[in-house]
Amino acid sequence: AKDYLVFPLLTGPSFVTTLTANIAANVMRNVWTNAIIFCGHFPDGAEKFTKADIENETKGEWYLRQMLGSANISGGPLLHFMSGNLSHQIEHHLFPDLPSNRYAAIAVRVRELAEKYDLPYTTGSLPVQYFKSWRTILKLSLPNKYLRHTTDDAPETKSERLFAGNTTPSIDPVTGRRQGLRTALSAGRKLARRTMA
């Protein structure tokens, strides 16, 4: 009522112009918001969880789920400003009460932790993340008989299978580096490519 009736009426003879401008502004805002939200939650690499996955989770598991279930959009200061800093969706999920202008600074520390514990840190450009988001949504909306992957090997759900509840990290004997979920996902992708070849 406010955007489409009250404000246009207040402009008197410019009613139609104001109404048209309000409709255009709302459409652009909704498309932009859709893109930012989808890119932060649905591209490849952003895990999907069920209610059963979160039953009896510990605080540590909650933080891990926040990190695995979201993705960032890489870009410059203008993109971050235009998205309200929600281009740092991982940090937003981990620290929802933190002022959004602090996400970029926190992202450096979160990436360091992801690297240290060999955890995925999903990020990509806006066009790439948006394409992957819609591809994921379209795949998940298909009946199972049309899907090439099962829940055991689909990119959207396979980390829980690869992790299999084993939270004890292994150490690479050659490099001495910790091997975690990111290594398991990478090995799974390589195995899938070899199997398909």
Q: In this structure, what token pair is assigned to residue 183?
A: 């290594």
Low-confidence winner among 100-104, 161-165, 186-190 (lowest mean pLDDT): 161-165
Check residue 83 and report its DSSP letter.
T
pLDDT digits 0-9 by tens, 138-161: 877 878 777 776 655 565 555 555
Where are the alpha helices (H) located in the chain, listed in sequence order? 7-10, 15-41, 51-54, 59-68, 77-82, 89-94, 103-116, 126-141, 158-163, 181-196
Please give the structure tokens belonging to residue 60: 């540590």
Other CB atoms within 10 A of residue 119 CB: 20
**pTM of whole model > 0.85?**
no
Strands 178-179 and 170-171: antiparallel
> Cα angle vertex 185, ends 121, 74, to 5°?
25
- As a whole number of angstroms, the distance between CA 155 and CA 149 comes to 8
**Residue 122: predicted pLDDT:** 92
Q: Please give the average per-residue pLDDT across 179-193, as a whole number.
A: 67
pLDDT the model gives residue 26: 95
Give tens-digit pLDDT for 8-45: 999 999 999 999 999 999 999 999 999 999 999 988 88
pLDDT at 47: 84
